[in-house]
Structure 1
Amino acid sequence: MEELTLTTPALLFSAISLIMLAYTNRFLAYAAVIRNLSDKYLEKKEDSLIRQIDNLKLRLNLTRWMQIFGISSLLLCVLTMFLIYIDQHTFAIWTFGIALILLILSLAFLIREIQISTKALAHHLSDMEDNLKK
C-alpha cells in the first residue's frame, strides 16, 4: 500500500471549496425563493404555496446536511495533514478515510436534493402547460 502524503488530502481542498461554493449558491437561491413565497403566502394562502414551502424546507434541510458533511470533510482533510506532519500515519489514514466518507455523504445528499428539485420544476412546468391548454 502506498503511503499517504501531505499532497493527497490537499488535492481535495479545491474540489471541496468549489462544492461548498455551489452549496452556498443553492442556499442563497432558496433563501430568496422562500422570502418571495412568504410574501405571496401572506397575500393569499393557497395550497400550492404550502406545498412549495414544504418542498423548499426539505431541500433547505438537505442543503444544510450537504454543507455540514462537506465542511466536516474539509476539516478532517486538514486534520489528516496535521497527523501526517506529526508522523501519526495510521491515524492520518483513518481520518482521511472518514473525510472521504463524509464527502461521499455530502454528494449523496446533493443527488437527492437534485432529484427533489427536478420533480418540483416538473410540477411547475405541468401547471404552466395546464394553464396554457385552458
Structure 2
Amino acid sequence: MQVLSSRIILRPADYPLTLAFYRDRLGLAIAREYPGGTVFFAGQGLIEVAAHGGTDASSTFEGALWLQVRDVTETQQELADHGVSIEREPVLEPWGLWEMWLRDPDGVRIVVVEIPKDHPIRLDSRRP
C-alpha cells in the first residue's frame, strides 16, 4: 500500500463547539473549508472536523492526537490565555520528551510535545 496523504477525521457531538476549539482556542491554521467541515493543518498531518457522516454521538478515539510544538511552556500559556483547560501540565517524561495533556470538547486526548534539542529524535544519525 502506498499512502499519498492522511488525516484524522473527528465527528463531534457539537460541531460548532469543536470547530471553535481547534480553530480559536488551539489556533490551528485552516487547510480548507467545505460545507459542513473544516480541515486544519497539524504539522505534517491534517485534522478534519466534520459535521456530516457520523451518528449523533461524540467522536470516540482510543489513542491521542500528538502535536509537537517548539516550546511547551509558551504553548501552555497561550492555551491558558485562550481558555483551554490543561489536564496535565508539562512533564519531562522518562523517554526524554516534554509532554502536556489536554482534551477537546468530546474528550479526545491531545498530547502536546516538545522535543529537547539534545533528544535522539533531533540528532543527525548520519554523523559519528
Determine if the TM-score, normalized by the shorter chain, exceeds 0.5.
Answer: no
Larger proportion of helix: 1
Normalized against structure 2, the TM-score is what?
Answer: 0.28
Higher Cα Rg, which structure: 1
Normalized against structure 1, the TM-score is what?
Answer: 0.27
Larger proportion of strand: 2
